[in-house]
Amino acid sequence: MATGTTTMTNDTILKVEHLSMKFGGLMAINDCSFEAKRGEITALIGPNGAGKTTVFNCITGFYKPTMGMLTLKRSNGKEFLLERLRDFEINKVAGVSRTFQNIRLFSGLTVLENLLVAQHNVLMKASGFTVLGLLGLPAYKTAAREAIEKAQYWLEKADLIDRADDPAGDLSYGAQRRLEIARAMCTGPELLCLDEPAAGLNPKESLTLNTLLRGIRDEGTSLLLIEHDMSVVMEISDHVVVLEYGQKISDGTPDHVKNDPKVIAAYLGVEDEEVEEIEEQLDHATVEGGTV
């Protein structure tokens, strides 16, 4: 695969450089650059319409960016330019999997089958692209058993083991969210991208979600998530990137971002007379902080 022009340090898994996305006359993302570190939870936040989901769709191959470079480095040192891969290869080759803002499960398949579909590429190879599997060779049977074991592992993690044989469409909203994460994890990704995983969850479900996501991180998968629920963002993320109108306005630890006047202005809005005051503060801050 193509190698990125810039060298990446080993602890960076995803590097977004000068990403721009134009829809007709609308600049949805304008020259946005950030990095996601390996083994960390990186959160992408911003007001509605800031372009978070667009960034996501560029990274996961659903949009082709107008400009910019998206470099992913796998743990074996291989680098991939995501914008050059075909949509399904981003998962298959580069090891990036995602969930969706509006849940996209295979509602007519059972919970277990959902997780088996996610292991398609591994099973395809084991079944000799169906030919050997049709003949009933033992290699495929072993692979199929292993796939079910892997699914079982993630079902237990997501607390869905009792619902394994029910149709996915029959699950409650919170359970569907967890199943979608479990399904994404069954593809064996190195980077998991979550589009608003806590949307529509009650506080208790949010809490279990936090535990699940931390568990995933501790097992070595890096996470990139879009989230509106600040309790989730501030509690679990190691690194926060803030977008507004398609541009990055802040980048740093949750505490840093929380106190950044630019972020506060973006989220709360400011009165006209305060604008100058804040701009002054900002100038001051950039002089002091240097790289804010």
Partner 1 sequence: MANGYQNVQEDVMAKAVKEGAVAGIIAFLMFLVFVGIETYQDINNQLVWRTRWGLLGVFVIVAAVGRFVTVGFIKPHLDKRKLAKAKTGILEVSEEKSFFHKHFLKIALVFLLCYPFLAMMIFGRQGSLKYVDNFGIQILIYVMLAWGLNIVVGLAGLLDLGYVAFYAVGAYSYALLSANFGFSFWLLLPMAGILAGFWGIILGFPVLRLRGDYLAIVTLAFGEIIRLVLINWTDVTRGTFGISGIAKASFFGIWSFDVGAANNFNKAWGLPSSSVYYKIFLFYVILALCMLTAYVTIRLRRMPIGRAWEALREDEIACRSLGINTVATKLTAFATGAMFGGFAGSFFAARQGFVSPESFVFLESAIILAIVVLGGMGSLTGIAIAAVVMVGGTELLREMEFLKHIFGPDFTPELYRMLLFGLAMVIVMLFKPRGFVGTREPTAFLRTRKAVSGSFTKEGHG
Which amino acid is residue 104, in one-letter code?
A: R
| Cβ nearer to partner 1, comparing 129 with 288 | 129
How far apart are alpha carbons 194 and 207 in whole angstroms?
A: 16
Helix (H) or strand (E) run with residue 172 in it: none
Residue 134: how many other CB atoms lie within 10 Å:
10
Quick check: 120 binds partner 1 (CB under 8 A)? Answer: yes
| Cβ nearer to partner 1, comparing 27 with 144 | 144
Q: Hey, which residues between 20 and 79 contact partner 1 (CB under 8 A)?
A: 60-62
| Cβ nearer to partner 1, comparing 150 with 262 | 150
Q: Mask 187-206, x = binds partner 1 (CB under 8 A)?
A: x-------------------
Least Å distance between CB 75 and partner 1? Answer: 18
Contacts of 36 (CB under 8 A, 6+ apart): 12, 13, 14, 15, 42, 191, 222, 224, 239
How far apart are alpha carbons 283 and 266 in whole angstroms?
A: 16
CB 121 within 8 A of CB 90: no
3-state helix, strand, coil in the chain (%, to 5): 45, 25, 35
Beta bridge partners of 247: 244
Q: Hey, which residues between 124 and 143 contact partner 1 (CB under 8 A)?
A: 124, 127, 129-130, 133-134
Instruction: Find the binder of partner 1 among 37, 74, 92, 258 (CB under 8 A).
Output: 92
Instruction: Find the binder of partner 1 among 106, 199, 207, 264 (CB under 8 A).
Output: 106
Q: Hey, which residues between 142 and 181 contact partner 1 (CB under 8 A)?
A: 148, 152, 155, 161, 164-170
Which spans of this chain sit near partner 1 (rule: CB under 8 A)?
A: 60-62, 87-92, 97-98, 100, 104-110, 112-113, 116-121, 123-124, 127, 129-130, 133-134, 148, 152, 155, 161, 164-170, 183-184, 187
